Chain A
Amino acid sequence: MKKWHMIIDVEKCEDCNNCFLACKDEFVGNEWTGYSAPQPLHDHRWINIHRKERGAFPYVDVAYLPIPCMHCKEAPCIEAGKGAVIRRPDGIVIIDPEKAKGNAELIASCPYNAIFWNEELALPQKCTFCAHLLDKGWEMPRCVHSCPTGALRVEHVEDAKMERIAAEESLEILYGELGSRPNVYYKNLFRFEKCFIAGSVDAIKNDVVDCVEGARVLLSKDGATIAETTTDNYGDFRFDGLTGDGSSYAVVVESDGYEAKTLTVVVSDSVNMGNIRL
Chain B
Amino acid sequence: MTDAKKRLSEQLLGLEQLLNDTAAKHPHFAKRLQERNMIAQIKLRDDSLGRYYIFKDGQVASESGIHPDADAMVWFDNAETALAILKSDRNQLEYISAIKSFQMGMPGPDEPKLWFWETLGMMVTAPITYGTDMGDGVTRYTSNTNGGPVFVYVKEDKILRITPIYFDEEDADPWVIEAKGKKYSPPKKATVDSYTQAWKSMVYSKERLLYPMRRVDFDPNGDRNPQNRGISGYERISWEEALDLVTSEIRRMKRDHGPGAILNGSGSHHTWGYLGYWLSLRLRFFNQIGFTPVDHNPDSWEGWFWGASHHWGQIMRRGGGETYGTLEDCMKNCEMIVFWSSDPEATSGLYSAHEGTIRRQWLNDLGIKVVHIDPYYNHTAAYLGGKWIAPKVGTDVAMILAIAYTWIKEDLYDKKYVADRTVGFEKWQSYILGEVDGIEKTPEWQEAETGVPAKTVRALAREWGTKKTYLSPGGIVGFGGACRASTGPDWARGLVMLMAMQGLGKPGINLGSLQQGAPVDTRFYIPGYSEGGFSGDINATANAVNLYQRMPQLASENTVRQMIPRLKLPEAIMEGKCETNFTDSKVLEGQFFEYKYPAPGHSPVKMYYKYGGSHFGTMTDTNRYVKMYQSDNLEFVVNQSIWMEGETKFADIILPACTSFERWDFSEFANCGGYIHQCYTQVNSRVAVLQHKCIEPLGESRSDFQIFYEIAKRLGYGFNFSEGSTEFDWCKRLFDGTDLPKAVQWEDFCKKGYYVVPPLPENRRDPVSYNWFAEDRAKDTPEMFPMPGDYTEEFPKGLQTQSGKLEFESSSLKRYNPDDPERPPILTYIPSWEGPHSTDLLKKYPMQLVSPHPRFSFHTMGDGKDSTINDVKDHRVLIDGHYYWIARVNPEDAAARGIKENDLIKVYNDRGAVICAAQVSARIRPGVVHSYESCAIYEPVGKPGESPDRGGCINNLTPSRMIIKKSHGMAVNSCLVDVAKWDGKETVL
CA distance A58 to B927 in the complex (A): 13
Known: A28-B201, A42-B871, A211-B455. A60 touches B922 (CB 8 A): yes
Q: Is B689 an interface residue (CB 8 A)?
A: no
Structural contact, B459 and A235, CB atoms closer than 8 A: yes
Q: How many angstroms from the CA of A16 to the CA of B357 in the assembled complex?
A: 10
Are A25's CB and B354's CB within 8 A?
no
A15, A211, A236: most-surrounded residue (chain B CB, <10 A): A15
Q: Chain A contacts of B574 at CB under 8 A? A: none
- Cβ distance B864 to chain A, nearest Cβ, rounded Å: 13
**Chain A residues in 8 Å Cβ range of B455:** 202, 208-211, 235
Which listed residue (A21, A150, A213, A233) contacts B198, Cβ 8 A? A21
Given contacts A211-B456, A211-B459, contact A24 B871 (CB under 8 A): yes
What 1/0 flags go to A35-65 for Cβ under 8 Å of B?
0000001110100010101011110111000
> Shortest Cβ distance from A186 into chain B, in angstroms?
18
B923 touches A22 (CB 8 A): no
A25 contacts which of B197, B878, B891 (Cβ < 8 Å)? B197
Is B7 an interface residue when CB atoms closer than 8 A count as contact?
Answer: no
Docked complex Cα distance between A26 and B159 (Å): 10
One of B197, B377, B458 near A21 (C-beta < 8 A): B197
- Is A20 part of the contact surface with B, judged by Cβ < 8 Å? yes
A17 to chain B, nearest CB (A): 5
Among residues 169 to 222 in chain B, which have CB atoms less than 8 Å away from a CB atom of chain A?
Answer: 191-194, 197-198, 200-201, 204
Query: Are the CB atoms of B194 and A18 closer together than 8 Å?
Result: yes
Q: Is B424 an interface residue (CB 8 A)?
A: no
Residues of chain B within 8 A (CB-CB) of A17 are 194, 197, 856, 872
> Which residue among A24, A148, A213 has the maximum number of chain B CB atoms within 10 Å of its CB?
A148
Complex CA distance for A245 and B961, rounded to whole angstroms = 52
Is there contact, CB below 8 Å, between A60 and B388?
yes
As a 0/1 sequence over residues 1 to 25 of chain A, the CB contacts with chain B under 8 angstroms (1 = contact) are: 0000000000010111110111011
Q: Are the C-beta atoms of B868 and A24 separated by less than 8 Å?
A: yes
User: Which of B197, B389, B390, B462 has most A Cβ within 10 Å?
Assistant: B197
Q: In the complex, how many residues of chain A place their beta carbon closer than 8 angstroms to a beta carbon of chain B?
A: 46
Contact pick for B868, options A28, A30, A61, A233, CB 8 Å: A28
Per-position binary interface string of chain A over residues 191-221, scored 1 when its CB falls under 8 Å from any chain B CB and 0 otherwise? 0000000000010000011110100000000
Number of interface residues of B (CB under 8 A): 58
Cα of A142 to Cα of B454 in the assembled complex, Å: 49
Residues of A close to B389: CB separation below 8 A: 58
**Cβ B194 vs Cβ A53 within 8 A:** no
A209–B193 Cα distance when bound, in Å, is: 45
Question: Which residues from A are CB-within-8-Å of B385?
Answer: 61
Beta-carbon nearest neighbor of B869 in chain A = A21
**Cβ of A29 < 8 Å from any Cβ of B?**
yes
Chain B 445-463 interface residues, beta-carbon cutoff 8 Å to A: 453-456, 458-460, 462-463
**Closest-CB distance, B129 to chain A (whole angstroms):** 23
Pairwise interchain contact B868-A60, C-beta atoms closer than 8 A: no
B868 touches A21 (CB 8 A): yes
Closest beta carbon of chain A to B157's beta carbon, Å: 14
Residues of B within 8 A of A236 (CB): 387
B787 at the interface (CB under 8 A from A): no
Chain B, residue nearest A12 (CB): B361
Residue of B nearest to A49 (CB): B873
Instruction: Pick the contact of B358: A49, A148, A211 (CB < 8 A).
Output: A148
A181 within 8 A of B: no
Of the candidate stretches B22-30, B160-168, B936-944, the one touching chain A is B160-168
- Write out the residue numbers on chain B whose beta carbons fall within 8 Å of the beta carbon of A209: 453-455
Once A51-B874, A57-B926 are accepted as A-B contacts, the answer to whether A14 and B379 lie under 8 Å apart by CB is yes
Contact A210 B458 (CB under 8 A): yes
Task: For the complex, give the distance between the alpha carbons of A146 and B456 in Å.
Answer: 39
Question: A236 — nearest CB in chain B belongs to which residue?
Answer: B387
A42 touches B459 (CB 8 A): no
Chain A residues closer than 8 Å to B890, beta-carbon distance: 57
Q: Which residues of the partner chain B approach A232 to less than 8 Å between Cβ atoms?
A: 387
Task: Let me know if B377 and A56 touch, CB within 8 A.
Answer: no
Q: Contact: A60 with B377, CB < 8 Å?
A: yes
CB within 8 Å of A: which B68-111 residues: none
- Given A25-B197, A51-B873, A56-B891, does the pair A16, B354 have CB atoms closer than 8 Å? yes
Residues of A contacting B201 with CB < 8 Å?
Answer: 24-25, 28, 41
Q: How far is the CA of A62 from the CA of B922 in the complex (A)?
A: 10
Taken residue by residue from 456 to 477, chain B's Cβ proximity to chain A (1 for < 8 Å, 0 otherwise) reads as: 1011101100000000000000
Min C-beta distance of B555 to chain A, whole Å: 42
Closest B residue, CB atoms, query A210: B455
A149 to B186, CA, bound (A): 11
CB distance from B403 to the nearest CB of A (A): 14
Would you call A258 an interface residue if the criterion is a C-beta within 8 Å of the partner chain's C-beta atoms? no
Chain B residue contacts of A42, Cβ below 8 A: 868, 870-871, 878
Asked if A25 and B162 sit within 8 Å, CB to CB, the answer is yes
One digit per residue, 1 when the CB lies within 8 angstroms of any chain B CB and 0 when it does not, for chain A 101-119 equals: 0000000000000000000
Q: For the complex, is B382 an interface residue (Cβ under 8 Å from A)?
A: yes
Residues on the B chain within 8 Å of A175, using CB: none
Q: Is the CB of A148 within 8 A of B191?
A: yes
Q: Are B197 and A146 in contact (CB under 8 A)?
A: yes
Cβ of B161 and Cβ of A20 under 8 Å apart? Answer: no
Q: Are A53 and B923 in contact (CB under 8 A)?
A: yes
Given A25-B162, A56-B891, CB of A234 within 8 Å of CB of B456: yes
Contact indicator A62/B923 (Cβ below 8 Å): yes
* Cα distance, A25 to B161, chains bound together (Å): 6
Distance between Cα atoms of A145 and B866 in the complex (Å):
24
Which B141-165 residues have a C-beta within 8 angstroms of A?
160-164
Chain A 131-158 interface 0/1 with B at a Cβ cutoff of 8 Å (1 = within): 0000000000010011011100000000
Interface residue B649 (Cβ < 8 Å from any Cβ of A): no
Q: Which residues of chain B come closer than 8 Å to A233, judged between CB atoms?
A: 459, 462-463
Residues of chain A contacted by B869 (CB below 8 angstroms): 21
Q: Which residues of B744-791 are within 8 A (CB) of A?
A: none
Contact (Cβ within 8 A) B164 A15: no
Q: Return A244 CB to nearest CB of chain B, in Å.
A: 16
Task: Find chain A residues with CB under 8 A from B459 CB.
Answer: 210-211, 213, 233-235
Query: In the assembled complex, how far is the CB of residue A232 from the closest CB belonging to chain B, in whole angstroms?
Result: 8
Q: Which residues of B are found within 8 Å of A53, using beta-carbon distances?
A: 921-923
A residues less than 8 Å from B353 (CB atoms) = 148
Q: Give the complex CA separation of A62 and B163 in angstroms.
A: 28
Query: Which B residues are CB-close (under 8 A) to A16?
Result: 193-194, 345, 354, 357
Instruction: Kindly state whether residue B383 has any CB partner on chain A within 8 Å.
Output: yes
Contacts of A234 in B (CB 8 A): 387, 456, 459-460
CA distance A32 to B849 in the complex (A): 46
How far, in whole Å, are A56 and B354 apart by their CA atoms in the complex?
Answer: 29
Chain B hits for A43, CB < 8 A: 871, 878
Nearest Cβ on chain B to A240's Cβ, whole angstroms: 11
Check if B345 sits within 8 Å of A20, measured CB to CB: no
Tell me the smallest distance from the CB of B669 to a CB of chain A, in Å: 14
The answer to the question of B925 belonging to the interface, with a C-beta cut-off of 8 Å to chain A, is yes
Contact A58 B872 (CB under 8 A): no
Q: Which residues of B from 366 to 425 have beta carbons under 8 Å from A? A: 377, 379, 382-383, 385, 387-390
The reply to whether B163 and A145 contact each other, CB–CB distance below 8 Å, is yes
B459 CB to nearest A CB, Å = 5
| B161 x A142 contact (CB < 8 A) | yes
Taking the nearest CB of chain A, how far is it from the CB of B419, in angstroms? Answer: 29
Most buried by B among A25, A26, A51: A25
Chain A residues contacting B357 (CB-CB under 8 Å) are 14, 16, 148-149
Given contacts A28-B200, A60-B388, A146-B163, 12 further A-B pairs with CB under 8 A are A16-B193, A16-B194, A18-B192, A21-B872, A24-B201, A24-B868, A42-B868, A42-B870, A56-B891, A210-B458, A235-B455, A235-B459
Nearest first, the 8 closest Cβ-Cβ pairs linking A and B are: A148-B354, A21-B197, A148-B191, A14-B383, A24-B868, A62-B382, A211-B459, A60-B922
Q: Show 17 A/B contacts (Cβ-Cβ < 8 Å), sorted by A.
A: A14-B357, A14-B382, A18-B194, A24-B201, A26-B161, A29-B200, A42-B870, A60-B388, A62-B382, A62-B923, A145-B166, A148-B353, A148-B354, A148-B357, A150-B358, A234-B387, A235-B455
